[in-house]
Structures are given as structure tokens and as C-alpha cells.
Amino acid sequence: MEFEHAGARPRVHPDAVVAQTAVISGDVTIGADCQILHGAVITAEGGAITLGENVIVMENAVIRAVASAPVHIGDHTLIGPGASISGATIGDEVFLATGTRVFNGARIGERSEVRINGVVHLRTVLPPDTVVPIGWVAIGDPVEILSPHEHDRIAAAQRELDFPGFVFGVDRDTPDVMVQLTERYGRSLSRHRSDRAL
């Protein structure tokens, strides 16, 4: 199903195939020979989303862009079931396996692989041909690829990246960080009230 959001309509190449149960919303461009499978959600929340040619977005994957972080996905890229991409740039010939998470401001170089349940954190840069092992966390620029058991190192890097400030513009040290975050983000998301099914 396609939706006009904030005055922008999806543009889907006639050779692309989009499942009837997929949701495409707003300023989204889908290139030739793309395959968007059942339950996938591709939603432009103020920032554009561009899929190149021959991109496969599998079941229940979510791709989201915001005004400060558009999404570009290069040609011949496969996004596995249940994967999530938010505000990132993905190069050509990239494999994002089942359950991967890619966060705002991340850049993934050509021919890289993020294996099952791998994470590419906020503002992280993966050089071309990089592999993130199953369940591991890539974080920073220059990138460190850490085992999920290295919680203290991951937590220290996360604090430095400042997720609440970078993504939501909220000071993480304020006592009511979640109140500010949810109210601000909720107001932004309420713009969907005016969406129109196409």
C-alpha cells in the first residue's frame, strides 16, 4: 500500500515488484527490478529514501528516514527479514542479514556484510568489504567491531555518540529525558494524521 505523506508521493519504477502488504510512505524512490516483500515498511518521515536497482527488501524489514538523516541504498543490496535501517547510507552489493540494525548517520561501504542480528551503530562508518559477525556491534569512525560480551566498551562508545541528542535533539542527562523524547517524537509522528492512501 502506498501513502502520500507530507505532500510527497512514492515513485516506484514500473519494473519493481511491491507486495500488496508492504507499506511505502512519502518521499520514497524505488529503482528498477527491486523486490519489496510482504510486511516491509519503507517510510520517509521528512527525509528522502532512495533504493537503487535490484534491491531486495525482505519480509517485515523497516527502512525509515528523517529530515536530518535520509536513506540511500545502493544497487544489488539485500536487506533480510526483520532488518531495520534508520537514516543510513548503504553502498552497492551489501548484505544485511536477518534482524540486522543500522542506525542514523551510519555509512556502510560496498560489498560489506552485516550478519544475523548484527548492529551498525549511530554515525558508524564501515569501509568497503567489511564483515560484522553474527550478533556483533560495529561502532564509531574509525570503526570498532565488538563482541556483544564487551558491554562496557560498547556502552562507553554509545555515550560518546549521544543517541538522544543526535537523533531526537534531547539532552541525555536531563532527568525527564524519556518525557521530552516521547513528546517531541510523538508530535513529529502525528503528521501521519494527514496521510492519504494512494
- Model confidence pLDDT, tens digit, residues 100-152: 999 999 999 999 999 999 999 999 999 999 999 999 999 999 999 999 999 99
Q: What is the pLDDT of residues 54-73, one digit of tens each?
A: 999 999 999 999 888 999 99
Tell which wins on pLDDT, 168 or 116.
116
CB 74 within 8 A of CB 91: yes
* Residue 44: strand, helix, or coil: strand
pLDDT at residue number 144: 95
Cell numbers placing 177: 529525558
Q: Which residues pair with 78 in a beta bridge?
A: 56, 95
Angular region, 169: left φ>0, alpha ψ -120 to 50, beta rest: left
Structure confidence at residue 79 as a pLDDT band (50, 70, 90)? very high
Per-residue confidence at 32, pLDDT binned at 50, 70, 90?
very high
* pTM of the full structure: 0.93
pLDDT, residue 156, reads 87
Determine what percent of the chain is predicted with pLDDT higher than 70.
100
pLDDT value at residue 21:
98
- CB-CB contact of 105 with 125 (8 Å): no
In the structure, what pLDDT confidence band is assigned to residue 77 with cuts at 50, 70 and 90?
very high
More confident residue, 186 or 52: 52
Which range (30-44, 118-132, 154-168) has the least confidence?
154-168
When the pLDDT of each residue in the chain is averaged and rounded to a whole number, the result is 95
